[in-house]
Structure 1
Amino acid sequence: MANQPVIFIHGLWLHAVSWQPWVERFQAEGFDPVAPNWPGEHDTVAETREHADDVANKSIDDVTEHYAKIIDAMDTPPVIIGHSFGGLIAEKLLGQGYGNCAVAIDPAQIKGVLPLPLAQLRSSLPALKNPANISKPIALTFEEFTFGFANALDEDEARRLYDEYTIPSTVRPLFQAAAANFALHSQAKVDTGNEDRGPLLLVSGTADHTVPDVVTDATMKQYRDSTAVTELIKFHGRGHSLAIDHGWNDVATEVLVWLSQQHVMD
């Protein structure tokens, strides 16, 4: 019998290689994990930085459809695990009937989520401050990365993560999420009322600046009309880097425990 597949989906400004420790951990636990690039990304951080225009102007639906095609080619519905905008994509895919369950770590806000804390607004400013950025590849400075991702880390670790994992990103999804509650047919909309979907776990870092804890709480409330399993785990004092920093293994362990409770390997 083939091992249970897992697909990891990263968010803005990080390369898929940032999932490599998770891939190795999940392989050791008997899963069959993959961490595909976003459309337009190259196989390495260096190549993606060198060809930044290739990632520009991709929308939420572009990315969702890209991963849906990858899942369609799998023999078995995968566990879908996403971080940040990858978490939003994971939620969309699960709501559309893809995968057997999903984990959304610090997921970007979906349509219907109203809180907009100042820290989140500041984290988004590198992209949102200029409307012309919507079609451009945007890179974070180290200072912007430190505020948005690494605010709970020391400078040495923040610098290592910045150097190893960060890439320019499309920022069209940020504009789409920011305008979601004013758009009738927003691409940030998720089918939160789907009762036939698999279980969903939301994960929040209480010190997160990019997706503050109150935003994940509000996301959880969007699922109140569904009888499908929806749960929330919080990691106190952890920032937006919780999936890639020195404490990633604690998060991975909790996710694996939850997956065991959902009997995905049975």
Structure 2
Amino acid sequence: MTDAPVVFLHGTNGGPWTMENFSRYFEAQGYACHAPAYRFHDMPPSEARDAVLKGLSIADYVDDLSAFIETLDQPPVLVGHSLGGLVAQLLAAKGLARSAVLLNSSIINGTLPTTERERRLGKLFISAGAFWEETPGQDFDLLADFGLNTLPETLQHQLYDRLDTESGRVLFEFVFWMYDENQTTKVDIDAVTCPLLFLSGSEDRAVPPSTARAMAARYGDRAQFAEIEGACHYMQFDDGWEKTAQHCIDWLKGL
């Protein structure tokens, strides 16, 4: 078994199940894997779930994960998808990561959209009203267009049916970081001393490669960037995800 444990961090509206393909692949190669749920994300769909999610911040997720990591015997490798990639960067800035793999990471403070499609997505959030005070679910058409666009329609519906609500404040904090008075997603770039691997799906419309590359560039030679041809935002479900998972492991073994 390899040295460092691996902690998988899921995206918005999801849970540890979204990382199962990768975690099982890593486990098969000898890694000790953990996949904690964000606060209250293990609750079933209900009004009670929405009530406790409302108002939660990314900072709450970071606090919970910091406490979890402190229970491990050494700093782990972090593998974060979407919001999980953002959270991984915040944890790395706290010295809580041995290294981090970022799968289509959500943007951090200071990262601007580079495509018209991203700007259109921002406008759609604005049209939803004061979503930061609510617990939004996913819209199938929007999710299929921006996040699941390379996947078969049957699989798109299967994933959509399993995704649940999310704290609107969490969405606001990274989509509209410039208006977040707490600057929740501001990463102390200089404090991140561990190596980072940014993987970006060539067909990701939520955080396209041009935007992901700009985010990775802020870390200089501490970060490597790779574009995964044909992959969408949910790259862990794309055909060929095993090749992507192996790419991560090969990178870790080369450190």
TM-score by length of 2: 0.90
Determine the C-alpha separation between the residues in 2 that align with 1:53 and 1:27: 35
| Residue of structure 2 equivalent to 1:9 | 9
Determine the C-alpha separation between the residues in 1 that align with 2:2 and 2:253: 17
| Count of aligned pairs between the two proteins | 254
Matches within 5 A, 1:8-157: 8-42=8-42, 47-48=44-45, 51-124=49-122, 127-157=125-155
Give yes or no for contact 1:41–1:48 (8 Å, CA) kept in 2: no
Q: CA deviation at 1:2?
A: 8.0
The CA RMSD measured in Å over matched residues stands at 2.2
Q: CA deviation at 1:92?
A: 0.9
Give yes or no for contact 2:113–2:119 (8 Å, CA) kept in 1: no
**Other structure's SS at 1:76 match:** coil
Give yes or no for contact 1:109–1:211 (8 Å, CA) kept in 2: yes
CA deviation string 1:219-248 (max 9, x = no partner): 012213xx5x21011112211011233332
| Residue of structure 2 equivalent to 1:256 | 249
Give yes or no for contact 1:119–1:212 (8 Å, CA) kept in 2: no
- Residues 185, 56 of structure 1: alpha-carbon distance in 2 compared, 3 angstrom cutoff: closer
Q: CA deviation at 1:205?
A: 0.8
**Other structure's SS at 2:67 match:** helix
Q: CA deviation at 1:255?
A: 0.6
Give yes or no for contact 1:42–1:48 (8 Å, CA) kept in 2: no
- Percent sequence identity is 27
Give yes or no for contact 1:7–1:81 (8 Å, CA) kept in 2: yes
**Other structure's SS at 2:117 match:** helix
Question: Residue type of the partner of 1:35?
Answer: A
Determine the C-alpha separation between the residues in 2 that align with 1:64 and 1:128: 26
CA deviation string 1:116-141 (max 9, x = no partner): 53322444556443342112111112
- Residues 205, 49 of structure 1: alpha-carbon distance in 2 compared, 3 angstrom cutoff: farther
2:195 pairs with one of 192, 195, 199: 199
Q: CA deviation at 1:173?
A: 2.4
Q: CA deviation at 1:186?
A: 0.9
Q: CA deviation at 1:256?
A: 0.7
Question: Residue type of the partner of 2:207?
Answer: V
Give yes or no for contact 2:10–2:81 (8 Å, CA) kept in 1: yes
Q: CA deviation at 1:150?
A: 0.8
**Other structure's SS at 1:211 match:** coil
Q: Give 5+ residue unaligned stretches, structure 2.
A: none
TM-score by length of 1: 0.87
Determine the C-alpha separation between the residues in 2 that align with 1:126 and 1:9: 26
Determine the C-alpha separation between the residues in 2 that align with 1:54 and 1:80: 26
Question: Residue type of the partner of 1:243?
Answer: Q
Give yes or no for contact 1:19–1:244 (8 Å, CA) kept in 2: no
Q: CA deviation at 1:82?
A: 0.4
Q: CA deviation at 1:86?
A: 0.7
| Higher mean C-alpha deviation, range 243-252 or range 13-22 | 243-252
